Amino acid sequence: LAILKKRKAIRVMITGAAGQIGYALAPQVATGAMFGSDQPIILHLLDVEPAKNALEGLRMELVDGAYPLLQGVFTFTDVAAASKDVDVAVMVGGYPRKAGEERKDVMSKNVSIYKSQASALAENASKDVKVVVVANPANTNALILAENAPSIPRENITCLTRLDHNRALGQISERTTTHVSAVKNVIIWGNHSSTQYPDVNHGSVVGKPIRSVVSDDAWLNGEFITTVQQRGAAIIKARGLSSALSAANAVCNHVRDWVRGTPAGTWVSMGVVSDGSYGVQPGLVYSYPVVCSGGKWRVVQGLPIDDASKERMRTTEAELVEERDLALQCLAEKSGAAQ
Ligand code: NAD
Ligand code: LMR
């Protein structure tokens, strides 16, 4: 891949960098978790004006980390300046939900950020910029970004569902007392929300089908699914704050596999702009199983889908349609109010 071969520093922008995820993510990127231990990095850290001091504190700590791969750290409060020549944009900027809220409850605050930042990104970033939206509602923010940045290729705009994917691997690993690296090919379908469908029907543990190793369909069809769907809420309840280190780790996994490729025989879950695969409405940002090579992802095609799974896939798709319509309505109301 061009950006790896030239060994020129890769410019990574992190928006919302003064927040919790930013604090966990920046050092992970600096130590090579995103592109490997031989790839130099330049960080562009963006946050809002009131977070300027916290952002400067993060910059000082990164300098004090004396990271061999880190060739520069720049801080910004202007998105156009922050986006200049970036190769990867990790969009974390926004507001997290609180206990008792659904992710779509932060829609009105967050979706307008994605509309307003889209054109700055499109105009200033590298032509082949790879974008991963993390801020919630992640799929719908990515959809709004894609619609407002038509010059960025659709396939370069994704959202994070790798955290859900990793959560599913973790649950199967604990249940089977098998190391997580031996659990493969679970799938997260649909929305990064409580309607997502964590699907084990095509997954394996040490090369054997998950369903034959676990052999407890009631657990796989019930508690396993709800645990993964509700894990974000469980972490908010336990920490009083939403997940941060696991989210940062998932971002690094997502970008690493996208840029460097997925291991042979393994797929991962990514929220991508649907081309209609598996009957999903084209244009929605829907999480699919994907394999990556040469810096491109492709949806794994032809998996047999049973009726119960079809139903769950449709439920999460319907929520994405509802979110998209709600987002468009919020944006229309805001632009109406501004006139
Ligand atoms: P946080 O509140 O600690 O940090 C968010 C930062 O974004 C803050 O510093 C804030 O000032 C900044 N910000 C707000 N508006 C901005 C703008 N217009 N431009 C740039 N920065 C802006 O929150 P956090 O815990 O780091 O979470 C960030 C987001 O990620 C939330 O929406 C959260 O729900 C989401 N999240 C998603 C996943 C996922 O798997 N997709 C996982 C965890 C968290
Ligand atoms: C998560 O999944 O941990 C994040 O999306 C935060 C949340 O609101 O659940």
Cα 185 to the center of its chain, rounded Å: 18
Q: Could you report how far apart the first and last alpha carbons of the chain are, in Å?
A: 46
Whether the CB-CB separation of 121 and 78 falls below 8 Å is answered with: no
Please give the Cα distance from 85 to 77 (Å, whole number): 16
Whether the CB-CB separation of 76 and 38 falls below 8 Å is answered with: no
Nearest bound ligand to the CA of residue 134: 1
Ligand 2: which residues within 6 Å by Cβ?
96-97, 103, 136, 163, 232-233, 235, 242-243
Please give the Cα distance from 309 to 187 (Å, whole number): 11
pLDDT > 70: percent of the chain: 98
pLDDT of residue 141: 96
Q: Is the pLDDT of residue 3 over 80?
A: no
192 in active site: yes
**Mean pLDDT in the chain?**
96
Of 91, 98, 136, the residue with max ligand 2 atoms within 8 A of its CB, to mutate for a pocket test, comes to 136
CA dihedral 223, 228, 233, 235 (to 10 degrees): 110
pLDDT of residue 2: 55
Residue nearest to atom 5 of ligand 2 (CA): 232
Please give the Cα distance from 138 to 129 (Å, whole number): 18
Nearest to residue 137, comparing CAs of 98, 97, 99?
97
ipTM above 0.90?
yes
Nearest to residue 83, comparing CAs of 6, 33, 145?
145
pLDDT in tens, 227-262: 999 999 999 999 999 999 999 999 999 999 999 999
pLDDT of residue 336: 78
- Strand segments, DSSP code E, in the chain are 10-15, 41-46, 70-76, 88-91, 130-133, 157-159, 183-184, 187-189, 197-199, 204-205, 208-209, 268-273, 285-293, 296-299
Whether the CB-CB separation of 190 and 228 falls below 8 Å is answered with: no
* Centre of ligand 2 from the C-alpha of residue 243, in Å: 6
pLDDT of residue 339: 63
DSSP label of 137: S
Mean pLDDT of 163-173: 99
Q: Is the pLDDT of residue 337 over 80?
A: no
Nearest to residue 249, comparing CAs of 67, 28, 40?
28
Q: Which two tokens stand for residue 92?
A: 């974390």
pLDDT in tens, 83-114: 999 999 999 999 888 888 887 788 888 899 99
Q: Is the pLDDT of residue 56 over 70?
A: yes
Element (H, E) at 177: none
* Centre of ligand 2 from the C-alpha of residue 242, in Å: 6
Residue 265 labelled as part of a binding site: no
Ligand 1: which residues within 6 Å by Cβ?
15-16, 18-21, 46-48, 51, 92-97, 113, 134-136, 138, 160, 163, 192, 242-244, 247
pLDDT confidence of 315, banded at 50, 70, 90? very high
Q: CA–CA distance from 244 to each of 51, 80, 247 (Å)?
A: 18, 26, 5
Residue nearest to atom 7 of ligand 2 (CA): 232
